[in-house]
Amino acid sequence: MALELVTLRCLKDNYAYLLHGDVGTVLIDAPEAMPILTELEARGWTLDAILLTHHHNDHIDGVAEIVAATGAKVIGNGADASRLPPLDQAIHAGQTITILGEPVDVIDVSGHTIGHVAFYFPESGYAFTADSLMAIGCGRLFEGDAEMMWESLSRLNALPGETLICSGHDYCAGNGAFALSVDLDNDALRDRLEAVQQSKIPCAPATLAVERATNPFLRVAALRDHLGMPISTDAEVFKRLREMKDAF
């Protein structure tokens, strides 16, 4: 049975995630403390650990207060430890760790930042991708380059289609508008945006299969000719799309 997943809205447009199983509860990213502590109290759950994807403040600012209130241990990328809150357990990209009794693959998804990791729970079918692969989009390239981010997205795109992509923000309106501007004839994209607008489905999480069908940054092969780049590499097409989104 899959671990129970709770999606929490934090700050203006961030997502944090609680995972709960028979052996405990963990949190993925901590944008702010109050909504997370409130949810834990309402459910009567004791928090065991916080998994951090990357060092940006809107993913770590709640850590100290949550640790003080719960005693949870902090787990993050040892290669980026100098920019993360104090770690109780340093992990590394390419490693498989055990969380809540399940194996968890730590995936390098650098690009948005160097040292950004995603956590993939193959047994439950969850991938916590934060600001790498996002709902109908991907993160800005603040530290890495387009080729690095394309490699990161390709690693995530190799996961099973039923994997639930749990991304770090609700940028659905802006991402959706850009996606339509470059993929106007995509009926799956239009249907997804309409359903989100009517609150029939959340923007995130969404399955990887849905992202493959609607996310322009995973549809470079389909958009290559539209962009006038018939002989360009996937990474070059991705770079053009990312530049267009930055200027959108």
Q: Which residues are annotated as a binding site?
A: 54, 56, 58-59, 112, 131, 169
Note the Cα 110 to chain centre separation in Å: 12
Q: Residue 186 is encoded by which pair of tokens? A: 């995509």
d(CA 243, CA 221): 17
d(CA 134, CA 173): 13
Asked whether 149 and 72 are in contact (CB, 8 A), the reply is no
Asked whether 49 and 99 are in contact (CB, 8 A), the reply is yes
Asked whether 104 and 98 are in contact (CB, 8 A), the reply is yes
How close are the terminal C-alpha atoms of the chain, in Å?
Answer: 42
d(CA 134, CA 167): 5
Point out the annotated binding site for Zn(2+).
54, 56, 58-59, 112, 131, 169
